[in-house]
Structure 1
Amino acid sequence: MAAEITEKIKSGELKPGDKLPSTRKLADQYGVSMGTAYRALSLLHERDLIIGQPGRGTYVTDHSSK
């Protein structure tokens, strides 16, 4: 899941500022548990590809081209 989202960011399919679906929706979309989806998003956050904004959602950062 993390690799696929990373590729979408690198390819430009997901652009800086794009909002990602909720963790629950991503888990359903990728057919994984909530825990797996959460860990994948945590990994993307550690790589500075996404940022969480409490109460607003998770967004692609503008540092994703690094």
Structure 2
Amino acid sequence: MKFTPRGFGGNRRSVDLVKRDGWREQRVLAVSLDDHRLTWPERELVRQLGEKLYGRPEAKDERA
């Protein structure tokens, strides 16, 4: 007996697979600045691109 509707079961793809497929299929790149595979210059480039396109990240409220 199934307890999930059709199409809502199975295995989830890993985050890296979703990112890879997004790049290959739609040319969308999702990159974390904390990715250990990036060198410092690569991280800096990603940070600068993010700030240019979307602005600086808001400062986190220390009191919250």
Q: TM-score, normalization: structure 2? A: 0.36
Give the structure with the higher percent strand: 1
Give the structure with the higher percent helix: 1
Q: Which one has the largest radius of gyration?
A: 2
Higher RCO structure (Cα 8 Å, ≥6 apart): 1
Q: TM-score, normalization: structure 1? A: 0.35
